[in-house]
Amino acid sequence: MNQKYMVPLAGVLLLFLLAYAGVEGAGMQWFFGIIVPYVAVIAFIGGFVHRVMGWADSAVPFRIPTTCGQQKSLPWIKHSCIDNPDKASGVFIRMVLEIFLFRSLFRNTKAAFNRNEKNTLTYSWEIFLWLGALAFHYSFLVVIIRHLRFVMDPVPSCLKFLEFFDGIIQLGLPGLFISGAVLLLAALFLLARRVFDAKVSYISLAADYFPLFLIIGIAASGIAMRYFTKVDIIGIKTFTMGLVTFHPVIPDGVGGLFYAHIFMVSALLAYFPVSKLMHMGGIFLSPTRNMANNNRAKRHINPWNYAVDIHTYEQYEDHFREKMIDAGLPVDKKE
Amino acid sequence: MSDEIKPDELLDKVDHTPSQGSWMTEAVHIRPSMYCYAAKAESVETLGLPNARSWNPLEADWKLPENWQEIIHNGIKERLEKFRSFKIFMDVCVRCGACADKCHFFLGTGDPKNMPVLRAELLRSVYRNDFTTVGKLLQKIPGGSKLGGARPLTLDVLKEWWYYFFQCTECRRCSVFCPYGIDTAEITIMGRELLNLIGLNIDWIATPVSNCYKTGNHLGIQPHAFKDMMDFFTEDIEEITGIDVAPQFNKKGADILFITPSGDVFADPGTYTCQGYMLLFKYLKDKYDLDVTWSTYASEGGNFGFFTSHETMKRLNAKMYAEAKRLGVKWILGGECGHMWRVINQYMDTMNGPADFLEEPVNPITGTKFENAKSTKMVHICEFTADLIKHGKLELDKSRNADRIMTFHDSCNPARGMGLIDEPRYIIENVCDNFYEMPSNTIREQTFCCGSGAGLNAGENIELRMAGGLPRANAVKYVHEKFGVNTLGTICAIDRAALPALMEYWVPDVEVYGIHELVGNALIMPGEGERETDLRMEPLPGKEAADE
């Protein structure tokens, strides 16, 4: 079996069992329900801020956008103002499209080489990674927003509105939330890609499988509680409100599955700032996307620009003066 | 060339399915024909760069300084602070694989370490080991480092860096597809900078850099020889057109300083592009009294310093402004070149500006203000010529290029580091009737590299170049077979040097032309005689009979 995914899978199972057994067997509700979540949230916020500040501390010496369209040049040449922005407004739209619609990923193609008498390389549009990524991120976002009902009292109407649409299929009881199912399926799709696509499998690390398994575990345990084990929602709300109001309480009648769920969420939060998941923050700061291609029109300043040794014209002429004079080239000093 | 790999043998090797093993433990195998020779000691010495010595990549001992690991470690640390791009690109990759099959070297070689993501991981694995909390924690667990994709910087890893950072042409195609804009060019630039700290450059970069520093251009053409070569072109052009187009050199008080890659003075077919410039400047002098000067001191547009380190790039580039200032010109015009324009467009003003001794560039013939170049004060010749044509200032006879069935290769840097995409196409349309685009996934911002950029256009790495150029050649072959395309237009001097060999290898009936060669052919010079041949001394369309 492949270590790259067996180790993280075992790790996530262990996390699950640890919390489940810790609560069901050892009665450590206070540890998995109170201490761990607080520590995880602190680690998440502190770590996230630390990482972003770390990036912000680094200089941006050069304006190096990747240009993906026609530059702004002569007035009669159609300028691609989003893909090759020359102004902040264009950069803003480019970034919005990148952050909310994963525009670069949308361009994805799949190359194929056909070894036959024609020997053609072909490139076809490959939309599934984009679709999978979009489904994954947006369903995750909806799931997170839905969960705000556990930390708000009364529940604001916009949340109820979102829940209404999320449950619009009206399947089963309690009604199926589309977001949860999509999250689970999209995460499984991304996992399948990593396992079965030879190229992606080759580049994948255990560190890529771990958060996927963790999220699959979180989604699966959440779905299990809502649709199958039907946990005590009132008890859980009492618990979560206690956490956010800093008066933590441990409710009766809430079992190990819930604590395992909370524990995996905590693990994800704590893991977030020290992992690739920081792409969430990094995308905002990527210099190839968030800068305008206007360096010839507007000088960019490099904060650490320093003077360098150059070979001056005087040195050059001193070296070649005779040859230059013989060739009839103008010189500054005739000797 | 007889021991060179045959096209069919090369194609047989193309397999895009990586092996089952782990890239982290597969040791690098430095294979002849895939790497460039090591930098000569004397070339490294010219600029006083570290660890100049004679060494051979195939030998076990690379003659590194004793504390090379410490030098690299400190080098990474310094660059993480100086370049946000580097730090972010080390941190945020999720290994989604979108970039994997976008690299021409991966498509042509099938070597998984040519997937952009893995090229970056070679460096990232060391970064994670030395600079991240998780990497340091995992080191303490047996087998832990591997889980997090971290590994210490060993000699094997270093050799792998060297091999693969000199198998990247910094073309940025992967960066177009990356959801976070991770630019492998940026990572390769850092990788090469680090390698240069311990004297691990290749000679095809180090010697041009040394030449450029001392003699003013990559090829080491001394001033009198430079003039000789141009005199030779002048004679050829006089023979073809009956006009004396003798250029001016180092002229103080000229309107415009013109700088182009020295390759165009040195080797066919770039020389014909150079002759196109000479015809154009003579035309503008006679008709509109525009005074253009060439410089022998700043006789290099290209900048192989860019492939060495940011500092070396700055040291070579400084000549452009220095010479413009010394000559007292109004602004600078730049010739057709790829990476030269990435440097000018994204680095020059920042490094060596402000160019407050120059005027905001205005085309004195059309009155057009080049607003997009008002700070750097350097205009691309395609912007300049397109403007002239648009205003009807050039008399052109397209029929002289009637036998040219064209396609256009967008060079990587003008496409993805600038966005100079439609200007050359506008010129082509005005000097040539037959123009067909290659498939849309292979042009404009998705263009494929020639496979020889970023200093890799040597002879000894021919298999790498032919493999890397396969995607480009394959698209040319497509339009060659479909539309009978016989001419590949380009605006890059490296392309003009590299693509003829690539075409000969993959699509033998296609010739490579610079855009200003076509302009030179079409331009009706005041007082010219009836032309019988084009600039290549081949009979013009309709004049073939007269030739017999």
How far apart are the CA of A102 and the nearest CA of chain B, in angstroms? 6
* Cβ pair A205:B148 closer than 8 A: yes
Check CB contact under 8 Å for A295 and B376: yes
Query: Of A197, A298, A320, which has the smallest distance from its Cβ to B222's Cβ?
Result: A320
Q: Which of B407, B388, B257, B380 is nearest to A71 (CA)?
A: B380
Half-sphere exposure of A128 (CA within 13 A, CB side): 10
State the pTM of this model. 0.95
**Side chain identity at residue B245, one-letter code:** V
pLDDT attached to residue A268? 98
Q: Partners of B539 in the beta sheet?
A: B533
B383 inside 8 A of chain A by CB: yes
Using a CB-CB cut-off of 8 Å, the residues of chain A touching B115 are 199, 203
Shortest CA distance from A322: residue in chain B: B224
Pairing of strands A109-114, A120-125: antiparallel
Q: Give per-residue pLDDT as tens, A84-104.
A: 999 999 999 999 999 999 999
A86 vs B contacts (CB less than 8 Å): 372
Q: Domain segments of chain A: what residues?
A: 3-304, 308-335
3-state helix, strand, coil in chain A (%, to 5): 60, 5, 35
**Taking CB atoms and an 8 Å cutoff, what residues of chain B touch A279?**
92-94, 179-180
Sign of dihedral through CA atoms B115, B118, B119, B120?
positive
Contact residues, chain B, for A299 at CB < 8 Å? 349-350, 353-354, 375-376
* 3 state SS of B139: coil
Q: Is B148 on the interface with A (CB under 8 A)?
A: yes
| pLDDT(A65) > 70 | yes
The model's pLDDT over A123-167, given as tens digits with 9 standing for 90+, comes to 999 999 999 999 999 999 999 999 999 999 899 999 999 999 998
Tell me the residues of chain B between 459 and 498 that have a Cβ less than 8 Å away from chain A. 470-471, 474-475, 478
In angstroms, the separation between the Cα of residue B533 and the nearest Cα of chain A is 30
CA of B548, closest CA in chain A: separation in Å?
A: 38
Q: Which of residues 442-461 of B touch A (CB under 8 A)?
A: 442, 444-446
State the pLDDT at residue B143.
83
CA A105 to chain centre: 13
Q: Do B373 and A296 touch (CB under 8 A)?
A: yes
Closest residue, chain B, to A284 (C-alpha): B180
Give the bridge partners for B409, in sequence order. B490
Select the residue of B84, B95, B249 nearest A329 (Cβ to Cβ): B249
Predicted local distance difference test score (pLDDT) of residue B2:
45
- Please report, for residues A44, A50, B81, B82, B183, the alpha-carbon distance to residue A55 in angstroms, rounded to integers and kept in the order given: 17, 9, 9, 10, 16
Give the max Cα distance, chain B.
Answer: 82
pLDDT bin (cut points 50, 70, 90) of residue A278 is very high
Interface residue B542 vs chain A (CB under 8 A): no
Cβ <8 Å between A279 and B180: yes
CATH number for the domain formed by residue range(s) A3-304: 1.20.950.20
CB pairs under 8 A between A and B: 324
- Chain A: residue nearest B423 by CA? A77
Q: Using CA atoms in the order B420, B422, B426, B429, what is the torsion angle rounded to 10 degrees? A: 120
CB pair distance less than 8 Å for A279 and B251: no
Q: For A250-260, how does the pLDDT look when each residue is reduced to its tens digit (9 = 90+)?
A: 998 898 999 99
Looking at the partner chain, which of B18, B87, B177 has a beta carbon nearest the beta carbon of A198?
B18
- Quote the percentage of chain A above a pLDDT of 70: 99
**Set of chain B residues whose Cβ sits within 8 Å of the Cβ of A1:** none
Residues 204 through 243 of chain A touching chain B, CB cutoff 8 Å:
204-208
Instruction: Report the C-alpha gap between A269 and B119 in whole angstroms.
Output: 30
Give pLDDT, residue A169: 82
Nearest to A111 among B107, B251, B421 (CB): B107
pLDDT tens digits, one per residue of B485-503: 999 999 999 999 999 999 9
Nearest CB among B94, B177, B354 relative to A108 is that of: B177
A301 touches chain B (CB under 8 A): yes
The A residues from 62 to 91 touching B (CB cutoff 8 Å) are: 62-64, 66-74, 76-78, 80, 83-84, 86
Cβ separation of B181 and A109 shorter than 8 Å?
no
Burial class from Cβ neighbours inside 10 Å (0-12, 13-18, 19+) for residue B361 reads buried
Select the residue of A285, A295, A316 nearest B345 (Cβ to Cβ): A295
- CA–CA dist B69, A290 (Å, integer): 34
The pLDDT, as a whole number, for residue B1 is 46
Contact A276 B95 (CB under 8 A): yes
For chain A, give the mean pLDDT.
94
ipTM, 2 dp:
0.95
B488 φψ region: left (φ > 0), alpha (ψ -120 to 50), beta (else): beta
pLDDT tens for the 548 residues of chain B, in order: 446 899 999 999 999 998 878 898 888 999 999 999 999 999 999 999 999 999 999 999 999 999 999 999 999 999 999 999 999 999 999 999 999 999 999 999 999 999 999 999 999 999 999 999 889 998 998 888 888 899 999 999 999 999 999 999 999 999 999 999 999 999 999 999 999 999 999 999 999 999 999 999 999 999 999 999 999 999 999 999 999 999 999 999 999 999 999 999 999 999 999 999 999 999 999 999 999 999 999 999 999 999 999 999 999 999 999 999 999 999 999 999 999 999 999 999 999 999 999 999 999 999 999 999 999 999 999 999 999 999 999 999 999 999 999 999 999 999 999 999 999 999 999 999 999 999 999 999 999 999 999 999 999 999 999 999 999 999 999 999 999 999 999 999 999 999 999 999 999 999 999 999 999 999 999 999 999 999 999 999 998 875 44
Name the A residues in 166-195 with CB < 8 Å from any B CB.
Answer: 193
Q: How far is A268 from chain B (nearest CA, A)?
A: 14
Contacts with B, A 4-33, CB within 8 Å: 4, 7-8
Q: Do B227 and A327 touch (CB under 8 A)?
A: yes
Flag whether pLDDT at A334 surpasses 90. no
What is B512-536 written as a DSSP string? EEEHHHHHHHHB--TTPPPP-B-TT
The 8-class DSSP code of residue B394 comes to S
